Amino acid sequence: MPNDVLAPCPKCGGKADLRIGYGHRSVGNVWLAVIYCTECDAFLERMVTRGDLELSRDQNILKYNVMEKAIEAWNRRIGGEEDDAE
């Protein structure tokens, strides 16, 4: 996993957990990563579509990319700031 250390929750300092899945949204098939605090209601979502990687056919690259985007975004959050949806 990229940068496999998730920072503590910016709201309460609790432990963060990562879930990833593949599904269909209005933009097409996507990889979705959700990072959430196990102790409060804080969470962050990131998704990538094939278009994000110029129609890559390698699902492992797409999965890695969404995990990396989510972890980087979560670890940037400080002081309980809201998600800066991309």
pLDDT digits (tens, 9 = 90+) for 31-48: 889 999 999 999 999 888
Domain that holds residue 71: 16-76
* Count of the separate structural domains present in the chain: 1
Residue 86 pLDDT class (50, 70, 90 cuts):
very low
What is the reported pLDDT for 51? 66
Q: How far is CA 18 from CA 13, 26, 51, 57, in A?
A: 16, 23, 23, 24
In a domain, 63, yes or no: yes
Res 22: pLDDT: 85
| Residue 41 within a domain | yes
